[in-house]
Chains A and B, each alone.
Chain A
């Protein structure tokens, strides 16, 4: 049991230690900027109302650009919407949302600061 504990400890320290160093370097390279809302950070678990709030884009605009009704879809994640409305490839709806936000920001530069 003693040797087992030491071996397990060494494996965990090696594995997680390496991963922690890599994560730390990534944080340093990226730099933590709480106010930055990069569209690349949009994920499949997000909902349209959340994205609208976080990126300062009207919900109606996003639903309209995606071509889907807002009714009954406000609580659904992008992943669910992707399946139900058959956008195609898994990343298709993500790309559509990112493009819609970029388009909105080009058309109407934010008058107010987006949420951090």
Chain B
């Protein structure tokens, strides 16, 4: 039994101080502090069911905290991105990366809020650094975080006192998804590189006679 861990500290805070503590935990998580936000949401759902926390204030302050945290990490990315921009602005790879994020960044932002949560902070930093429009970032961020809170808070509410049991599975499953994304990206890059390789002389078809 340890009460020294950050997770235990915030769980005690949740049952003692309620929604403001959830808002603070999610804000710090959005800033990059390694806190198990999904586990806190599962616990919060169970606490709401037990009548320990009020759902409306919890939803409001939780959403406010996490969006504030995400916006702050976007701002950090933007600040750091200015320096990167100055250095790599003429690089084709940097411009391609910026264009790709501008086209598909919305999906990445939305999915990393609730499905690929370990990739949320890097996505915020990339969004800021690549000068992705803030209002677009905010729209996808709010949609994703509402989904996150509804899905995991709702799951915690459904399983009640047994939220810890489901928490371990959710955490492992999230890690598995990140692994699949990394594997998929690696295989995609490998296949693309193979296709771009010039044909060796012996592979060339003889010229038509």
User: Taking beta carbons and an 8 Å cutoff, which residues of A are in contact with B?
Assistant: 1-17, 19-20, 22-24, 26-27, 30, 32-38, 41, 43-47, 49-50, 53-54, 75, 77-80, 82, 90-91, 94, 115-116
Knowing A32-B159, A50-B52, A53-B50, say if A6 contacts B173 (CB, 8 Å). no
A34/B183 in contact, CB under 8 A:
no
Q: Which residues of A contact B11 (CB under 8 A)?
A: 43, 45-46
Q: Which residues of A contact B20 (CB under 8 A)?
A: none
* Contact for A23 among B2, B7, B50, B169, CB less than 8 A: B169
Q: Which residues of B contact A17 (CB under 8 A)?
A: 176, 179
Q: Which residues of A contact B183 (CB under 8 A)?
A: 5-6, 9-10, 12-13
1/0 per residue, CB under 8 A from A, across B9-21: the answer is 1011001100000
B172/A9 in contact, CB under 8 A:
no
B1/A43 in contact, CB under 8 A:
yes
How many angstroms between the C-alpha atoms of A108 and B162 in the bound complex? 25
Interface size on B, residues (CB 8 A): 43
Question: A44 → chain B, closest Cβ, in Å?
Answer: 4
Could you count the A-B residue pairs with CB atoms below 8 Å apart for me: how many are there?
A: 150
B209 at the interface (CB under 8 A from A): no
B182 at the interface (CB under 8 A from A): yes
Knowing A12-B176, A20-B172, A23-B172, say if A44 contacts B3 (CB, 8 Å). yes
By secondary structure, the B interface counts as helix
Question: B94 → chain A, closest Cβ, in Å?
Answer: 16
B60 at the interface (CB under 8 A from A): no
* Contact for B50 among A36, A78, A79, A116, CB less than 8 A: A116
Knowing A5-B189, A9-B182, say if A15 contacts B175 (CB, 8 Å). yes
Q: Which of B177-206 contact A (CB under 8 A)?
A: 178-187, 189-190, 193
A34/B159 in contact, CB under 8 A:
yes
How many angstroms between the C-alpha atoms of A47 and B165 in the bound complex? 20
- Known A5-B185, A22-B172, A27-B165; further 15 A-B contacts with Cβ < 8 A: A2-B189, A2-B193, A11-B179, A12-B175, A16-B173, A20-B172, A23-B172, A36-B161, A41-B161, A43-B11, A45-B7, A46-B12, A54-B50, A79-B1, A116-B49
B154 at the interface (CB under 8 A from A): no
Knowing A12-B175, A17-B179, A23-B172, say if A78 contacts B3 (CB, 8 Å). yes
